[in-house]
Structure 1
Amino acid sequence: MKNLLNKPLRIFTLYSFIVLLCSIPVYFIIIDFIWVREVGEHNRIKSEATKQNFRSIKFKDGEMEKSIALWNRIQPETKLREVDALRPDSTYNEYRKNTYIPSKGLDRYEGRVTYFELNGKFYSVTIETNLEESYETILAITAVTALFFIILLIGFIRLNKKISTQLWRSFYESLQKIKSFDLSSLKKPEFDKTDVIEFEEMNSSVSRLMDGSINVYRQQREFTENASHELQTPLAVIQSKLDLLLQSQSLSAQQSAIIDETHKALTRVSRINKNLLLLAKIENQQYADQESINISLQLEEQIAQLSDFLATKNLKLQEQIAPDITMKGNKVLVEIMLTNILMNAVRHTVKNGEINIRLEQDRLTISNSGEASLNSEKLFKRFSSADANSPGTGLGLAIVREICSRYQWNVSYNFENGVHVFVLSF
């Protein structure tokens, strides 16, 4: 994943680099064109000046030939010679070795040939200019342009980062507050005012969404807590009435079986009610007291209470408990957590199976033999039984997860080689 600020910056940088690469040949072509045109104009002016200078001088017999020979010697870049007829002016561009510095290799020359008449004779003037310097000029201009372009690009990147960081600061502050928002605390974070319309609208929308979520969560929690409280008394009354009814001597076997099934269902409803009330109390921070708890002793006590359940299914128990492992927490909640996760292991272990319990300094591992993997997506959700054949209420592991979340512990599950493995990481 990439940072949002870096995505457009990378695109702009790539685009600028492409523009820089494309500009180099364009610079070369344009500057070369201007240079050749200026050199051509220079040659034309120089040839016209040469013709006028020769026409303004009155040569005596034989002086013209001597002057032409002298001119060609002291002006090697020009050639003045006699021709048989006048022709239109022409230009040429060619590469040839430098006469004076052969090691340089080929040089580029721009030449112009013009014709004129003097004292009844026809002459041609050839003016040449070495264009090799144009390449050096083009390279120098290109290098300087590229240098300033790179400086401009680096400055743009740094300025963009600085401005973007300042511009997006309020967004990241709001994002951090959203990340730290805990619905169970029922406290909505306060967003700072910003002069950016989009961020202000985002903060306003998120604030309204949080208000709605908090209200719904509060109502659901209050309903669960109130319903659990209100159900306690009628459930207890019904259960006591069923107990009295079972003691009646006039009941038939069929009626007794019906009452027994009703009693079992009522007992399950009562457990569900107690678990819901427990969850409501945990969420309401009613177990705020903390103390140093010896997890090793607590675990051994809970294991001792499992003897009847282990005997019923003929289960073999193996335990490796490190001594004096202590944690900070509420003793009641830790007991409930250990009871629920151990009972879950007993419930999902096949008959004649085996349960292994291992307590280390930073984790508790409970593994038990099973036939098939549990539904890990539903395992820790409320009223979502991970096993269709499970007699549980569907709240035991949800309570375990809630308690673990309270103390920033982690609970995980996997199924390997016919073994269920639960790991509590402290």
Structure 2
Amino acid sequence: MKKLLNKSMKAFVLYAGIVLACSIPAYYAIVDFIWEHELKEHNRIMSEATRQNLQAMSLSDTELNEAVLLWNKLRPETQLQQVETARPDSTYNIYRKNKYIPSKGWDRFQGLVTYFPINGKTFRLTQEANMEESHETIIAIAAVAFVFFMILLGGLIFINRKISEKLWLPFYSSLQKIKTFDLHRPEQIRFEPTTTEEFEALNHHLEKLIDGNIAVYKQQKEFTQNASHELQTPLSIVKFKLDLLYQSKPLSEEQSGIINDAHRSLSKVTRINKNLLLLAKMENSQFNGKEVIDLSALVASHVVLLEDFLEDKQLTVQLQLAPDVSLSGNKVLVEILLTNLIMNAVRHSIPEDTIRITLTPARLEISNTGAATLDEKLLFRRFGSSSPNTTGTGLGLAIVRQICQLHGWKEQYLFKNNLHIFTVTWA
């Protein structure tokens, strides 16, 4: 994950780098073109000045020949030669080894060849100029441009980061408040006012959304708690009446079966009611008390308490308990967590199979064999039917998740090697 500011800055720097890379050959082409054009003009001006000066001197043929020889010796970069016929002017570029400074290597020259008459004779003037300095000029210009470009880029990045940090400060402030918000301990959030229209609109709608969620959450908790309390009395009455009916005058086998079915359904409804009431109490933070719990001893004692359920399916328990594993938590809730996890393993185990319980200083793992994986999306949800053959209330694993959330633990389900593995991690 990358911050939004870094993503935009990366694109900006990448674009700037591409522009810089493209500007270097552009600098070279433009400066070289200007330099070459100026040298052409220089050669043309020098050639024209030479022509006019020679024509204005009115030399004799002998003096002219001597002047040409002297000119060629004094100006080796030019050559004045007599030719038979005149031709159109032309230019050329040539690389030639520097005969005066051999260590300098090869130099680039641009030449102009022009023709003009003197004393009725046609002469050819070759005028050359060294272009090697253009490369040095181009390198110097590119280096200076690069330095100033980097200074400009660095300044823009620094200024943009400082401005962005100030502009995004209301956003990060709002984000921090949202991170600390807990729906189980709802408190109204009021965001700090900002002069940025977009952030002000965002904060306004977030406040409306959070206030609405808090209101709905409180209504749901009150409904669950009130419904559970109100159901306790009629459920007890129905159970009492069924017990009286079962103990009354002799019943037929069919009537006895109907009463037993009603008892089983009533027991399930009673368990659902108790579990809903337990969830409501946890959501209302009625289990705040914590103590240091000897988890190794608690797990071992719970396996003994649930022996009847294990014997019904002829299950065996394989214990791997690290000694003296202790953690801080609410003992009542930890006992409920252990009961729900072990009973969940019992319900989904194949008869005459083995349940494995492993306890380490960092986690508790309970596994049992199974034919197929459970639906993880529904597994820890209230009344989520993770398996079509379940006989539970649909609240046991939801209670496990709620207990883990209250203690800051992490629950996890994994199906591996035909094993349902439930893990609670606290370290």
Asked whether the two chains share a fold, i.e. TM above 0.5, the reply is yes
In 1, Cα distance between the equivalents of 2:287 and 2:408?
A: 15
In 1, Cα distance between the equivalents of 2:398 and 2:117?
A: 113
Residue of structure 2 equivalent to 1:259: 259
Residue of structure 2 equivalent to 1:38: 38
In 2, Cα distance between the equivalents of 1:414 and 1:229?
A: 36
Residue of structure 2 equivalent to 1:384: 384
In 2, Cα distance between the equivalents of 1:7 and 1:237?
A: 66
Residue of structure 1 equivalent to 2:311: 311
Residue of structure 1 equivalent to 2:238: 238
Give the secondary-structure state (helix, strand or coil) at the position aligned to 1:378.
helix
Contact 2:61–2:119 (Cα < 8 Å) also in 1: no
Residue of structure 1 equivalent to 2:66: 66
Contact 1:350–1:371 (Cα < 8 Å) also in 2: no
Letter in 1 for 2:175: L
Letter in 1 for 2:335: E
Deviation at 1:89, TM superposition (A): 4.2
Contact 1:353–1:369 (Cα < 8 Å) also in 2: yes
In 2, Cα distance between the equivalents of 1:216 and 1:411?
A: 26
Contact 1:364–1:425 (Cα < 8 Å) also in 2: yes
Residue of structure 2 equivalent to 1:153: 153
Q: Residues 178-327 of structure 1 correspond to what in structure 2 (within 5 A)? A: 178-249=178-249, 251-327=251-327
Query: Relative to structure 1, is the Cα distance of residues 416 and 109 closer, same or farther in structure 2, using a 3 angstrom cutoff?
Result: closer
In 2, Cα distance between the equivalents of 1:120 and 1:385?
A: 116
Contact 2:293–2:328 (Cα < 8 Å) also in 1: yes
Q: Residues 58-207 of structure 1 correspond to what in structure 2 (within 5 A)? A: 59=59, 62-84=62-84, 88-102=88-102, 104-207=104-207
Q: Which runs of 5+ in 1 are unaligned?
A: none
1:345 maps onto 2:335 in alignment: no
Residue of structure 2 equivalent to 1:365: 365
Q: Over the residues paired in the alignment, what is the CA RMSD in angstroms? A: 2.5
Deviations 1:82-118 (A, max 9, x none): 4456655443333333343455554322223344444
Query: Relative to structure 1, is the Cα distance of residues 44 and 418 closer, same or farther in structure 2, using a 3 angstrom cutoff?
Result: closer
In 2, Cα distance between the equivalents of 1:279 and 1:395?
A: 9
In 1, Cα distance between the equivalents of 2:262 and 2:316?
A: 33
In 1, Cα distance between the equivalents of 2:409 and 2:245?
A: 47
Residue of structure 2 equivalent to 1:396: 396
Give the secondary-structure state (helix, strand or coil) at the position aligned to 2:379.
coil
Greater shift after overlay, 192-201 or 93-102?
A: 93-102
Give the secondary-structure state (helix, strand or coil) at the position aligned to 2:184.
helix
Identity %: 54
Letter in 2 for 1:374: L
TM-score after normalising by structure 1: 0.91
Greater shift after overlay, 78-87 or 389-398?
A: 78-87
Contact 1:322–1:359 (Cα < 8 Å) also in 2: yes
Q: Which runs of 5+ in 2 are unaligned?
A: none
Deviation at 1:398, TM superposition (A): 1.0
Query: Relative to structure 1, is the Cα distance of residues 131 and 244 closer, same or farther in structure 2, using a 3 angstrom cutoff?
Result: same
TM-score after normalising by structure 2: 0.90
Letter in 2 for 1:244: L
In 2, Cα distance between the equivalents of 1:113 and 1:197?
A: 72
Deviations 1:13-63 (A, max 9, x none): 222222222222222221111111111211222223223333443546743
In 2, Cα distance between the equivalents of 1:368 and 1:115?
A: 106
Greater shift after overlay, 406-415 or 246-255?
A: 246-255
Query: Relative to structure 1, is the Cα distance of residues 296 and 110 closer, same or farther in structure 2, using a 3 angstrom cutoff?
Result: closer
Letter in 1 for 2:206: V
Residue of structure 2 equivalent to 1:10: 10
Letter in 1 for 2:13: T
